[in-house]
Structure 1
Amino acid sequence: MKPRVTPSDLAVFLSIARHLSFSRAAVELGLTPSALSHALRGIEERLDLRLFNRTTRSVALTEAGERLFARVDPAFRDIDDALEDLNDFRGKPVGTLRITSGRASTQIVLLPVVAAFLQAYPEVKVEIVDNDAFVDMVSSGFDAGVRFGERIEADMIAIPLGPYQRSIVVATPAFIKQHGKPKHPKDLLGLPCIRHRFPSGVVYRWEFERGGVKLETDVTGPLTLTDVGLMLDAALHGAGFAYAFEQMAAPYVEAGYLQAVLDDWCPHYPGLYLYYPSRRQMPAALKAFVEFVQALRK
């Protein structure tokens, strides 16, 4: 008689299914990728079914794996909710809070809030996963995320996580002297600009507004990057005009390394939001963090 598949086996399966990555699942479970692969192989042998199709580059659920995930994942979440209920009997929340956030969002707003939160709740651990791409929060095992309001799915609960933000156009004084100072967003057309490509593959169109007039400019240039911080570094090296968060660019502008242009076309806009799925039982660590964020804004 073959050994039965245990709940710990199912936890291994769920972690791989949520991440679709042996390396990330191994980190979550505290195992090596090779040990995790061996464990999965044992589970599949006991079930006499292949649960994942895997190559050196990708991991994907088979039809049998998808069916098992659909049945088991909600059950394990119910167990997690039941365990979270026990936090009502503790003086302070404990556990790990997993947050997905873009790198710039983390630097600008999230890290200072998390640092203060950890001082108030020393028994809580926070893991921030730097990811500018959209992820399925529930299936990926995240408790919350940080994004701009217009990019948050409608079925999420969202609360403001910081002040209004502003993006500005900057370049080095020498670059502006060489190429000229634009007076209108359309003047950027034909000038060397540092473009930003999202993980989805879409290239960002720079957004401007003045006197109720909104413009989107599809700038061109020899350099395209996927990280806002690197775009700022590139501008400092004289690679072109960059469209960056004012908070990140301000120290360089104040020091004279960069100069802002089109200032009257760069208004403030609603800032970043903390968002999370609506669940029957909110994890205690997440509940404490949400209340902490709300208290900061009062």
Structure 2
Amino acid sequence: MSSLPPGELAAFLAVSQHGGFRAASRMLGQTPSALSHAVAGLERRLKVKLFHRSTRNVSLTEPGRRLLQRLMPALSEIGLAVEELHEQSTSLSGLIRINCDANAAEQVLMPLLTRFMKLQPTMRFEIRSEGRLVDIAEGGYDCGVRAAELVPDEMVAIAIGPDQQHIVVASPAYLDGAPAIKIPSDLSLHQCVQLRMASGSIYRWEFQRRGEDVVVTTPGNLVVDQSRLLLAAALDGIGLAYVTRWMAADALANGKLQQVLDDWTPPYPGLCLYYPRHRHFGSGMRAFLNFLKAEGSLRAAP
């Protein structure tokens, strides 16, 4: 069969969706007579009757109903294609509010965010960095960034960074002459810089080796509430610190810090951006999520 004229298909769809020739004519800006001729032409080409017509009513025949059902998915795809084209050809705008741990913002979120903002300079972002976990929906945030293990089950999560690793470090000066550290329980003989969490509790150091999980309450005379202060104390020789490898990378590379208990601190799944599963987003947020997914695909490529 030769291709069907788009005008005849458009007339059929309009009459189907608006329930009659007069209503469809008002939507398309054509006369009822013109639409009637177009539908009749389509019926001749298909050799079927598509509508039951009367002076009071117009309704689909069974072949007409089947044709409409087959056309609707294609129309939906066309609509999405047009919407995506429109979004790509116009500047995106809007505000996206993100709740994020401060270290996660510095390590992973900000580099992604700045790249996206260069592509979409009219988009606006507000980042609230804090240690405590919050209900992002209740707090008025569009999304949050946390370690994968902390993302609530009901949220949609997108991995946005590499695996993380917490390690134990100290300065060479502190380790010189100090008791040997072979297993986590040896930490009881050392000064360990403590981190107070936003909840008020002291963070306990976590270790794992060959399926064995160990959580240690460490001793220490210094308590801080920021990870950067842990690193500073270790660099000054105050004691051992439990920090991310990312944070300690430069100091390890230049020899200012040394790692201990290497085989007890394996990597674990990294950071995720997460958002409520059923929330409706505007074009700006959808574009940002698509950007993050594309960045993740690039990182995963060999």
The reply to whether TM is greater than 0.5 is yes
Following superposition, the deviation at residue 261 of structure 1 comes to 0.7
Unaligned runs of 5+ in 1: 1-85
2:194 maps to 195
2:269 maps to 270
Pairwise CA RMSD of aligned residues?
1.8
Following superposition, the deviation at residue 280 of structure 1 comes to 4.2
1:112 maps to 111
1:139 maps to 138
CA contact (8 A) 2:205 2:242 kept: yes
- Correspondence 1:166 to 2:165: yes
- 2-structure distance, mates of 1:252, 1:181: 21
Following superposition, the deviation at residue 237 of structure 1 comes to 1.2
1:297 maps to 296
Following superposition, the deviation at residue 109 of structure 1 comes to 1.1
- 2-structure distance, mates of 1:98, 1:217: 36
- 2-structure distance, mates of 1:169, 1:280: 40
- 1-structure distance, mates of 2:100, 2:187: 30
Following superposition, the deviation at residue 264 of structure 1 comes to 1.0
- 2-structure distance, mates of 1:176, 1:296: 41
TM-score, with structure 1 as normaliser: 0.68
- 2-structure distance, mates of 1:115, 1:230: 26
TM-score, with structure 2 as normaliser: 0.67
Greater Cα shift, 167-176 or 222-231: 222-231
User: Tell me, what secondary structure is at the counterpart of 2:149?
Assistant: helix
Q: How does 1:15-30 map to 2 (within 5 A)?
A: none
- Report the residue type matching 2:182 in the other structure: K
- 1-structure distance, mates of 2:265, 2:279: 41
- Correspondence 1:124 to 2:126: no
Which consecutive segments of 4 or more residues in structure 1 shift more than 3 A? 86-90
- Report the residue type matching 1:159 in the other structure: I
- Report the residue type matching 1:238 in the other structure: G
Following superposition, the deviation at residue 94 of structure 1 comes to 0.9
1:242 maps to 241
- 1-structure distance, mates of 2:264, 2:279: 44
User: Tell me, what secondary structure is at the counterpart of 1:189?
Assistant: helix
- Report the residue type matching 2:181 in the other structure: P
- Report the residue type matching 1:215 in the other structure: V
Q: How does 1:204-283 map to 2 (within 5 A)?
A: 204-283=203-282
Which protein shows a greater Rg?
2
Structure 1's 128 and 181: CA in aligned 2 closer, same or farther, altered over 3 A? farther
- Report the residue type matching 2:277 in the other structure: S
Structure 1's 161 and 242: CA in aligned 2 closer, same or farther, altered over 3 A? same
User: Tell me, what secondary structure is at the counterpart of 2:256?
Assistant: coil
User: Tell me, what secondary structure is at the counterpart of 2:194?
Assistant: strand
Following superposition, the deviation at residue 269 of structure 1 comes to 0.4
- Report the residue type matching 1:110 in the other structure: L
Following superposition, the deviation at residue 246 of structure 1 comes to 0.1
Structure 1's 148 and 128: CA in aligned 2 closer, same or farther, altered over 3 A? same
- 2-structure distance, mates of 1:88, 1:217: 55
Q: How does 1:35-184 map to 2 (within 5 A)?
A: 90=87, 91-184=90-183
- Report the residue type matching 2:120 in the other structure: Y
CA contact (8 A) 1:94 1:123 kept: yes
- 1-structure distance, mates of 2:145, 2:247: 17
Query: Residue by residue, what CA displacement relative to the aligned partner does 1:79-104 show, whole Å, maximum 9, x if unpaired?
Result: xxxxxxx9996524211111111111
- Report the residue type matching 2:94 in the other structure: G
User: Tell me, what secondary structure is at the counterpart of 1:297?
Assistant: helix
- Report the residue type matching 1:192 in the other structure: Q
- 1-structure distance, mates of 2:283, 2:194: 41
Following superposition, the deviation at residue 255 of structure 1 comes to 0.8
Structure 1's 280 and 269: CA in aligned 2 closer, same or farther, altered over 3 A? closer
Following superposition, the deviation at residue 284 of structure 1 comes to 2.6
Following superposition, the deviation at residue 270 of structure 1 comes to 0.2
Unaligned runs of 5+ in 2: 1-82, 298-302
CA contact (8 A) 1:101 1:147 kept: yes
CA contact (8 A) 1:181 1:261 kept: no
- 1-structure distance, mates of 2:250, 2:264: 21
